[in-house]
């Protein structure tokens, strides 16, 4: 299996479909781009995911969440991750490796999505808080992908039809 395919499968296995990310991109960008559709957003989300920086960040983030669920880290570190401590911040830093290659519009959208947690971000955040699964790293990754796709749309799509 190639890494892009593996990445999409892993996201789906962790409860995050391409469409659920595209919905966030649509939410972030529809007010700036007329006639923006979910279909179009899906294309841009896939463009973001297939980049090497994204693939590495997504696979690493999910691997950390899964390892923390299994308690594989030293107790202190494991608790930092599973408790999603507010000041931990390493989850955001990892996600920035996706955002950083997509410019300042991606960065501002990333902060915005992280703050208001639209759609699937809220869902996985809730599952994480309930300790059903660990999504400490995944929620930031989803924000980063959606925000980066929104930035690409801002750069490549015409503002008015």
SS3 letters for 64-96?
A: HHHHHHCCCCCHHHHHHHHCCCCCCCHHHHHHH
Least distance between Mg ion and beta carbon 138 (Å): 8
CB neighbours (10 Å) of residue 43?
15
Least distance between Mg ion and beta carbon 55 (Å): 19
Least distance between Mg ion and beta carbon 143 (Å): 8
Least distance between Mg ion and beta carbon 99 (Å): 14
Please report, for residues 9, 17, 52, 100, 154, the alpha-carbon distance to residue 139 in angstroms, rounded to integers and kept in the order given.
16, 13, 19, 17, 23
Task: With CA atoms as reference, report the closest residue to 98 among 15, 1, 14, 21.
Answer: 21
Name the closest residue to Mg ion (Cβ). Answer: 91
Nearer to Mg ion, 23 or 91 (CB): 91
Nearer to Mg ion, 11 or 36 (CB): 11
- Interface contacts to Mg ion, rule CB under 5 A: 91, 136, 139-140
Nearer to Mg ion, 130 or 161 (CB): 130
Nearer to Mg ion, 32 or 88 (CB): 88
């Amino acid at each position: 299996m190639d890494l892009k395919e593996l990445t999409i499968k892993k996201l789906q296995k962790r409860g995050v479909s391409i469409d659920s990310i595209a919905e966030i991109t649509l939410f972030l960008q529809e007010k700036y781009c007329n006639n923006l559709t979910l279909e179009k957003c899906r294309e841009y989300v896939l463009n973001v995911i297939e980049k090497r920086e994204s693939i590495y960040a997504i696979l690493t983030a999910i691997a950390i969440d899964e390892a923390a669920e299994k308690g594989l880290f030293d107790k202190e570190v494991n608790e930092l991750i599973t408790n999603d401590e507010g000041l931990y911040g390493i989850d955001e830093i990892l996600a920035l490796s996706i955002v950083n290659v997509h410019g300042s519009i991606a960065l501002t959208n990333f902060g915005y999505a992280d703050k208001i947690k639209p759609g699937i971000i809220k869902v996985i955040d809730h599952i994480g808080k309930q300790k059903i699964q660990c999504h400490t790293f995944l929620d930031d990754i989803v924000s980063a992908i959606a925000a980066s796709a929104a930035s690409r749309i801002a750069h490549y799509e015409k503002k008015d039809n």
